Amino acid sequence: MARPADCRFVHYTDVGLIVFTQIFMSLRLIEVFLPEEYQTQVEQLLTGQPLVETWYEPRFQDQVWVRVLVDATEAEAIVDQFAEHFDDVTKFRLLLLEVEASVPSPAQDEEAPAASLKENLETDLDPRSARLNREEIFDRVSGSAEWSWIQLAMVLLSSTIAAIGILRDNQAVVIGAMVIAPLLQPNMALAVGTTLGKRQFALQTLQTGSVGILLALLLAIAIGYGAPVSLESTEIASRIRVSWADGILALASGIAGAIALTTEERSSIVGVMVSVALLPPLVVLGLLIGAGFWSEALGAGLLTTTNLICLNLAAVTTFWLQDLRPRQQQEMPKAEQTTRTAYGIWFLLLIGLVAVVVMARVYDLQPY
């Protein structure tokens, strides 16, 4: 297929989520398909946009095929404009692809003036401009609304391994269980659905996450019923009391999970941090219930619930600070209402838990 003489070769993939390793710039390739009578409108829409390259491919089947190479931070605004102008047009299709490499790489102005460098620094430090566009973020969590047999198997396996590590008082085994626990995505998906006002998606994700938690809990109860559980185990003793440090840990894990989801700093270590706050307390809760240690189980239950609340509060707040909002303006009131409702529920639950913990300590009730 013919290309303009000044065209740059771009290698990309249509399966998405491949990290582009350019030091200063991460790129996105936007491909737009429209009936050919809309080409003039496309050209006008792209006029003045901060684009790296643009190609208008030869017409085929009475359609226009436009390729737009842009900085990742500019992709959301351009995608929103295309959707706003052409969403109701028949045969309109937009593909957003993550670029693996570009040859030559986008030119960088090495002699930029000090004022420009200052503006770039302010932009880089702005959490709203550092995140990915909402379509990529939602795509990353969209599969979390439904369980697959792989996810169910990983929940069962991670819970079994965690229970064995706790019963043996073996911290290394517990850490191994947290590595494979699929607990990051459901919590992040719930926060994304809340922030974008996708209530049905948020409720479906909440149901899915609850199934995973219930499954892990029931398995731990069965193991606790059939295996000897010792309260002298440090892995158990450290998870039957709620402290401020536990809340801070859960908040930090939620923030880290949200940042990892909305940027290209994706790492399995972040998922481990989220699992630290959820999996061990949940398994300890099940083991104690199965063994009949009801007082200690209440403490582990409070810790698990506190961590869940703090994780989701931190994630929703992080998305809000990153200005993650619905694309259509008419959806903003619904998203704001959903976010306020979620904040109200989480804060009421958190206040209730804090009140229970404080009362337990005032009346010297153990093990809290």
Domain CATH for 51: 3.30.70.120
pLDDT given for residue 225 in this prediction? 94
pLDDT given for residue 256 in this prediction? 87
Q: Are residues 67 and 215 in the same domain?
A: no
Residue 189 sits in which domain range?
142-362
Q: Which of 69, 71, 55, 58 is nearest to 22 (CA)?
A: 71
User: Can you tell me the distance from the alpha carbon of 78 to that of 158, in angstroms, rounded to the nearest whole number?
Assistant: 42
Q: Are residues 215 and 149 in the same domain?
A: yes
In this prediction, residue 72 has a pLDDT band, given cuts at 50, 70 and 90, of: confident
pLDDT given for residue 266 in this prediction? 58
Average pLDDT of the chain to the nearest whole number: 80
Distances 174 to 65, 167, 179, 183, 307 between C-alpha atoms, Å: 52, 10, 9, 15, 18
| Residue 128 placed within a domain | no
Q: Which amino acid is it at 248?
A: I
The pTM assigned to this predicted structure is 0.74
Q: Are residues 16 and 100 in the same domain?
A: yes
Q: Are residues 175 and 85 in the same domain?
A: no
| Residue 126 placed within a domain | no
Q: Are residues 228 and 180 in the same domain?
A: yes
pLDDT digit string, tens, across residues 19-50: 333 334 588 899 999 888 888 888 888 888 88
Block residue for tokens 């290394």: 172
- Whether the pLDDT of residue 15 is over 60: the answer is no
| Residue 123 placed within a domain | no
Q: Are residues 165 and 242 in the same domain?
A: yes
| Residue 314 placed within a domain | yes
Q: Are residues 93 and 199 in the same domain?
A: no
What are residue 206's phi and psi, to 5 degrees?
A: -60, -40
Quote the longest CA-to-CA distance of the chain. 80
Q: Are residues 199 and 285 in the same domain?
A: yes
Distant-in-sequence, close-in-space partners of 179: CB < 8 Å, separation ≥ 6: 268, 271, 272, 275
Strand partners for 67: 31, 55
- Whether the pLDDT of residue 51 is over 70: the answer is yes
Q: Which of 287, 280, 164, 162 is nearest to 224 (CA)?
A: 287
Q: Which of 75, 96, 98 is nearest to 10 (CA)?
A: 98
| Residue 132 placed within a domain | no
| Number of domain units in the chain | 2
Q: Which of 335, 336, 317, 319 is nearest to 197 (CA)?
A: 335
- Whether the pLDDT of residue 159 is over 90: the answer is yes
Q: Which of 57, 84, 107 is the last residue of a domain?
A: 107
pLDDT digit string, tens, across residues 299-344: 899 999 999 999 999 999 999 888 888 877 788 888 999 999 999 9
Q: Are residues 238 and 319 in the same domain?
A: yes
Q: Are residues 31 and 160 in the same domain?
A: no
User: Can you tell me the distance from the alpha carbon of 6 to that of 3, in angstroms, rounded to the nearest whole number?
Assistant: 8
pLDDT digit string, tens, across residues 281-298: 999 999 999 999 998 898
What are residue 121's phi and psi, to 5 degrees?
A: -65, -45
Strand partners for 11: 101
Q: Are residues 103 and 154 in the same domain?
A: no
- Whether the pLDDT of residue 91 is over 60: the answer is yes
Say whether 70 sits in a helix, a strand or coil. Answer: strand
Q: Which of 60, 86, 107 is the last residue of a domain?
A: 107
Distant-in-sequence, close-in-space partners of 267: CB < 8 Å, separation ≥ 6: 260
- 152 vs 265 pLDDT, higher one: 152
pLDDT given for residue 23 in this prediction? 34
Q: Write the Ramachandran bin of 11: left for phi over 0, alpha for psi from -120 to 50, otherwise beta.
A: beta
